Amino acid sequence: MIERVPPRLALWLLKSWGSPYHRESLAGDLIEQYQEGRSRTWCWRQVAVAILAARARSVRAMPWAATCAMLSRLFAEVAAVLALTVIVDQARRAHSLGQMLTESFIGTLAALITMAMVGFLVSTRAGKRKRTPAAISALMLVFGVIALGLGTITWADTLRGGADPVSICSSGY
């Protein structure tokens, strides 16, 4: 019988970012459940929940100013990634730079860039009082995992079996 091994990256993330009090027992339970037939999706979901729960506990223990700085930094990062997503999406839909630069696109992009800059400025101002690089790094890691997941979903969508590749263009072009 072949022994099923959960994703190594998931186990590493759990051991690196999970609760320091429960990470070994959580990893053991995760491996056991995975070997009994649970899916990779289930495994990743459990790891994400465990990391978020551990990080939520550390956020609750932080002073208010550090929490404000961390949340504004997260807000800035989300706005920046959304701006990049809007640019990539618009580039996929348009055939030229002229078609890409619509009024709604420029307005959305300007709003997202403004939100990112305001969030960054608030985080640096609030961060001068007390720095919390560990908490910010943890949230950046979670944000990175989510972004990678979304990228994987987008990539998987382009590989639909038997279907023509997704094309926004009409057949007349």
Boundaries of every domain in the chain: 1-61, 62-157
**What's the mean pLDDT when you consider all of the chain?**
75
The answer to whether the Cα torsion of 164, 167, 170, 173 is positive or negative is negative
Task: Using alpha carbons, select from 38, 36, 37, 40 the residue that is nearest to residue 11.
Answer: 40
Which residues lie closer than 8 Å to 118 by C-beta, 6 or more apart? 76
Least confident of 13-17, 88-92, 157-161, 168-172: 168-172
Q: Which residue has the higher pLDDT, 82 or 152?
A: 82
**Which of the pair, 141 or 171, is modelled with greater confidence?**
141
**Model confidence pLDDT, tens digit, residues 105-134:** 888 888 888 888 888 887 776 545 555 566
Q: Coil, strand or helix: which one is 131?
A: coil
What percent of the chain shows pLDDT beyond 70? Answer: 68
Q: Which of 26-40, 42-56, 122-136, 154-168 has the lowest mean pLDDT?
A: 154-168
Predicted confidence at residue 172, as pLDDT, reads 52
3-state secondary structure 37-82: CCCHHHHHHHHHHHHHHHHHHHHHCCCHHHHHHHHHHHHHHHHHHH
Predicted local confidence at residue 15, as pLDDT: 87
User: For the stretch 70-85, what's the b/e string if a residue is b when 16 or more beta carbons lie within 10 angstroms of its beta carbon?
Assistant: bbbbbbbbbbbbbbee
pLDDT of residue 101: 83
